[in-house]
């Protein structure tokens, strides 16, 4: 995608060919800053502190974290240590485990002399594969948007999304936003309702920013407006992303997604999820019971960052001194509320049968 007209991915190799560079998403939308990652520890901090976020991008960053670890030390001991260190950074996004397992299974049987080159090669492949996956999700999802547009005789298709599942959450294109970009590029009249998505405001700061960069019409709304808009016929479909989806179709995504699914179900609004296959957890059946829900630092709830009238970016406390705050980062939407899962291989019903039909290798 483009930033001020310049094409960017969210992670790439620096000109020296060994350090990785990323966009520091904690600075958006007010500052566009890139950061150089030189060690595995740098990659871990980037994931844990959410300089990068979104399940696919977390996985890609972890892969480059492994490559950086192999540049420091190619021993078996370091291979095991880096796995544990990176795995501990974020507990919910399954792409993290998937990428680390992929890299470890590749590197373990190799001679130490071959590990560094192999790690960099595979990290680059994981990034390229993610771009292809997201592009294909976009094509399949755009067909859904096109069908709605035709039914409305070309009138604006209003799409509600929650959190950020655009190109900033992946290596490029995005998951939930990829169909929107593909539809927009094809000339379909679309408009996006972007939930602010408290507490970190990824919708207001990231989704709105990247939609604006691409020229897609959009409106930022507070989190609790979605149900009202659906009641009044202002939402044609909801598309969200996912950080982990069970093989039975339960979807774990940013906190508040479940409430949007309930409102969509009550108002007969289709609720779709952009689902790259690496985010499917083939070991988990019941998402509500078995997916670990990350609880993050309370200051993400009690403190907000913004730009004041002078143009300065600063943090402000919005709660009374002494009031505790809870910060649950994700919730689980049961499969019964999901209209369909938009994967790189097509659209599936949210069920074990539907997913295994598209991915028979896991059946």
φ/ψ (deg, to 5) at 207: -60, -50
Distance between CA atoms of 330 and 272, rounded to whole angstroms? 17
Contact 57, 243 (CB under 8 A): no
User: At a CB cut-off of 8 Å and minimum separation 6, what does 66 contact?
Assistant: 40, 82, 83, 86, 99, 100, 103, 104, 107, 119, 123
CA distances from 297 to 53, 134, 244, 277 (A): 16, 31, 21, 30
Enter the tokens of residue 92.
């919910």
Other CB atoms within 10 A of residue 215 CB: 10
Q: Which residues are catalytic?
A: 243
Query: Parallel, antiparallel, or unpaired: how do β-strands 237-240 and 271-274 relate?
Result: parallel
CA distances from 123 to 58, 126, 169 (A): 12, 5, 17
* Surface-to-core class of residue 351, CB atoms within 10 Å of its CB (0-12 exposed, 13-18 middle, 19+ buried): middle
* Surface-to-core class of residue 16, CB atoms within 10 Å of its CB (0-12 exposed, 13-18 middle, 19+ buried): exposed
Q: At what angle do helices 55-72 and 94-107 cross, to 10 degrees?
A: 30
Contact 47, 96 (CB under 8 A): yes
Distance between CA atoms of 131 and 278, rounded to whole angstroms? 13
User: At a CB cut-off of 8 Å and minimum separation 6, what does 116 contact?
Assistant: 67, 70, 71, 74
CA 208 to chain centre: 15
Enter the tokens of residue 207.
């989704």
């Amino acid at each position: 995608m483009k930033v001020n007209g310049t094409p960017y991915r969210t992670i790439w190799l620096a000109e020296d060919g060994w350090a990785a560079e990323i966009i520091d998403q904690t600075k958006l939308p007010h500052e566009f800053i890139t950061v150089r990652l030189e060690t595995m520890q740098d990659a871990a901090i980037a994931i844990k502190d959410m300089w990068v976020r979104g399940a696919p991008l977390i996985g890609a960053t972890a892969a480059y974290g492994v490559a950086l670890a192999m540049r420091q030390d190619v021993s078996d001991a370091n291979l095991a240590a880096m796995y544990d260190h990176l795995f501990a950074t974020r507990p919910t996004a399954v792409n993290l485990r998937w990428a680390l397992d992929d890299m470890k299974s590749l590197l373990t049987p190799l001679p130490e002399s071959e590990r560094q080159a192999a790690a960099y090669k595979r990290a680059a492949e994981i990034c390229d594969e993610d771009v292809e996956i997201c592009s294909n999700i976009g094509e399949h999802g755009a067909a859904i948007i096109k069908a709605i547009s035709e039914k409305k005789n070309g009138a604006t298709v209003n799409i509600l999304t929650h959190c950020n599942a655009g190109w900033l959450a992946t290596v490029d294109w995005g998951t939930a936003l990829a169909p929107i970009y593909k539809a927009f590029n094809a000339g379909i009249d679309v408009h996006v309702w972007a939930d602010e998505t408290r507490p970190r405001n990824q919708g207001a700061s990231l989704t709105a920013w990247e939609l604006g960069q691409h020229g897609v019409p959009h409106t930022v709304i507070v989190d609790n407006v979605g149900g009202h808009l659906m009641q009044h016929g202002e939402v044609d479909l909801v598309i969200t992303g996912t950080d982990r989806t069970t093989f039975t179709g339960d979807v774990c995504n940013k906190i508040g997604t479940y409430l949007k699914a309930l409102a969509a179900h009550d108002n007969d609004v289709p609720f779709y999820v952009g689902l790259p296959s690496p985010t499917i957890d083939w070991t988990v059946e019941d998402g509500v019971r078995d997916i670990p829900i990350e609880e993050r630092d309370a200051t993400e709830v009690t403190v907000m960052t913004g730009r004041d009238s002078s143009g300065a970016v600063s943090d402000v406390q919005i709660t009374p001194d002494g009031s505790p705050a809870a910060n649950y980062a994700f919730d689980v939407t049961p499969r019964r509320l999901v209209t369909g899962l938009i994967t790189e291989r097509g659209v599936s019903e949210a069920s074990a049968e539907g997913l295994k039909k598209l991915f028979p290798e896991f059946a």
